[in-house]
């Protein structure tokens, strides 16, 4: 059994993480931190845990004192709130999995441009590993600090990786049109996320300036071996969870849909959580699972390739991927606690 602490356990991602860890056979959860609910019973915040989780939430100062008890610390705090404690955890030999964006962008100048702050722990960036297991499994195995990817980047990078890696892509052509359910914005109340503001409506937001553009570009450029700029357009849609990313790419030469399917199947041959599907993905087929479904179509009239991916933003896009990373870091089966499939309806 390994001992786990979660800071930010009362947010949507933290709660989803606790739900997954509760069903994991090798985990003992030692503490749960909250900001507004410190000293409240966790089951008061989320009554579905009544009789199952008897713990009380603690504040960050108390969490810090409990670091010597644990083997791994998950942070599901908002960006920027984890910096004061991360060093203390690492210095005490605690492995860290950070669900925020604080350690995803390797170049601190790029981080400053997109997050508008000077990175306060630059020296930790060189040792952080981008936690996308389908690309970085061996590095994750040895990592002490894993930066869990964002939800949109997970869906987008997995959709584009095989094609970009094959060097077939026209560099200037990539457009990602992505849609997210509202839980992607977290539990913290915000007027624009209120039911009557979002229901029966779809809106694009942060067009040309969403911070995930930098994260996707970093990984796509690494795969290609040269700097790639791309267009990323997120949309908010009126459902609780799920992301659908439609990626438009022009290839340097014509290639059949069948060959593209073979390319993708080969690339993800050993990856349990990626399914290459002939039927086009829908969020409902991956909801509440750690799966990423990917479908491909070639538009012969325009020579464009369309790659469509679907994930659950809170699982493969956050907590499930974090558990997948923990499994790899601690030598457990990668799928432990994550063999979940969607329920219909």
Ligand X SMILES: NC(=O)C1=CN([C@@H]2O[C@H](COP(=O)(O)OP(=O)(O)OC[C@H]3O[C@@H](n4cnc5c(N)ncnc54)[C@H](OP(=O)(O)O)[C@@H]3O)[C@@H](O)[C@H]2O)C=CC1
Ligand Y SMILES: CC(=O)N[C@@H](CCC(=O)OP(=O)(O)O)C(=O)O
Long-range (24+ apart) CB contacts under 8 A made by 257-260 are 257/296, 257/297, 257/298, 260/163, 260/296, 260/298, 260/305
DSSP states of 233-272 as a string? EEEE-SSSS-EEEEEEEEBSS---HHHHHHHHHHHTTT-T
Q: Is 184 in the site for ligand Y (CB under 6 A)?
A: yes
In angstroms, the CA 35 to CA 155 distance is 30
Tokens representing 266 are: 């080969």
Residue among 293, 295, 290, 294 at smallest CA distance from 312: 290
Question: Among 5, 8, 11, 234, which residue sits at the site for ligand Y (rule: CB under 6 A)?
Answer: 234
Which of 162/317 has CB closer to ligand X?
317
Q: Is the sign of the CA dihedral 249, 252, 258, 262 positive or negative?
A: negative
Which of 133/317 has CB closer to ligand X?
317
Select the residue whose beta carbon is closest to ligand Y and give its number: 184
**Which of ligand Y, ligand X, none does residue 140 bind (CB under 5 to 8 Å by kind)?**
none
User: Dihedral angle at the C-alpha atoms of 311, 244, 227, 249, nearest 10 degrees?
Assistant: 130
Question: Among 15, 33, 128, 180, which residue sits at the site for ligand Y (rule: CB under 6 A)?
Answer: 180
Beta-strand pair 203-204/231-236? antiparallel
CB 96 within 8 A of CB 90: yes
CB 159 within 8 A of CB 248: no
Least distance from ligand Y to the Cβ atom of residue 81, Å: 12
CB 125 within 8 A of CB 143: no
Least distance from ligand Y to the Cβ atom of residue 150, Å: 3
Length in residues, the chain? 345
Least distance from ligand Y to the Cβ atom of residue 123, Å: 22
Least distance from ligand X to the Cβ atom of residue 40, Å: 9
Q: Is 243 in the site for ligand Y (CB under 6 A)?
A: no
Q: Is 11 in the site for ligand Y (CB under 6 A)?
A: no
- Looking at 30, 57, 151, 198, which residue is catalytic? 151
Site for ligand Y in 261-320 (CB under 6 A): 317
CB 281 within 8 A of CB 293: yes
Residue among 140, 138, 118 at smallest CA distance from 127: 140
Select the residue whose beta carbon is closest to ligand X and give its number: 11
Q: Is 30 a catalytic residue?
A: no
Least distance from ligand X to the Cβ atom of residue 80, Å: 9
**Which of ligand X, ligand Y, none does residue 147 bind (CB under 5 to 8 Å by kind)?**
none
Site string for ligand Y, 137-166 (x = CB under 6 A): -------------xx---------------
Least distance from ligand X to the Cβ atom of residue 239, Å: 13
Which of 101/319 has CB closer to ligand Y?
101
Which of 185/306 has CB closer to ligand Y?
185
Q: Is 236 in the site for ligand Y (CB under 6 A)?
A: yes
Q: Is 223 in the site for ligand Y (CB under 6 A)?
A: no
Q: Catalytic site residues?
A: 151
Interaction site with ligand Y (CB under 6 A): 100-101, 150-151, 180, 184-185, 234, 236, 317
């Amino acid at each position: 059994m390994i001992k786990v602490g979660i800071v930010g356990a009362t947010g949507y991602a933290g709660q989803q993480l606790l739900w997954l860890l509760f069903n994991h056979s090798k985990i003992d959860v030692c503490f749960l931190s909250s900001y507004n609910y410190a000293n409240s019973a966790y089951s008061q915040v989320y009554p579905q845990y009544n009789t199952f989780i008897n713990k009380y939430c603690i504040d960050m100062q108390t969490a810090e004192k409990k670091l010597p008890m644990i083997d791994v610390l998950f942070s599901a705090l908002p960006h920027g709130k984890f910096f004061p404690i991360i060093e203390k955890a690492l210095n005490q030999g605690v492995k860290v999995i950070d669900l925020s964006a604080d350690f995803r962008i390797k170049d601190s100048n790029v981080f400053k441009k997109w997050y508008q702050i000077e990175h306060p722990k630059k020296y930790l960036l060189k040792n952080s590993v981008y936690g996308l297991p389908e690309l970085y499994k061996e590095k994750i195995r040895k990592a002490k600090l894993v930066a869990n990817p964002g939800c949109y980047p997970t869906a987008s990078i997995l959709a584009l990786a095989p094609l970009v890696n094959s060097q077939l892509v026209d560099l200037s052509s990539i457009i990602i049109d992505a849609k997210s359910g509202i839980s992607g914005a977290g539990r913290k109340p915000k007027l624009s996320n209120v039911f009557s503001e979002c229901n029966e409506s779809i809106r694009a937001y942060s067009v040309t300036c969403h911070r995930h553009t930098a994260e996707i570009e970093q990984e796509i450029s690494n795969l290609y071996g040269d700097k790639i700029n791309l267009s990323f357009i997120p949309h908010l849609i009126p459902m609780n969870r799920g992301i659908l990313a439609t990626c438009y790419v022009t290839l340097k030469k014509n290639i059949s849909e069948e060959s593209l399917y073979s390319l993708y199947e080969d690339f993800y041959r050993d990856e349990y959580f990626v399914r290459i599907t002939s039927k086009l993905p829908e969020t409902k087929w991956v909801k509440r699972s750690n799966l990423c479904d990917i479908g491909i179509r070639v538009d012969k009239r325009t020579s464009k390739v369309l790659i469509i991916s679907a994930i659950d933003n809170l699982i493969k896009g956050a907590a499930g991927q974090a558990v997948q990373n923990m499994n790899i870091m601690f030598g457990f089966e990668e799928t432990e606690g994550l063999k979940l499939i969607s329920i219909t309806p």
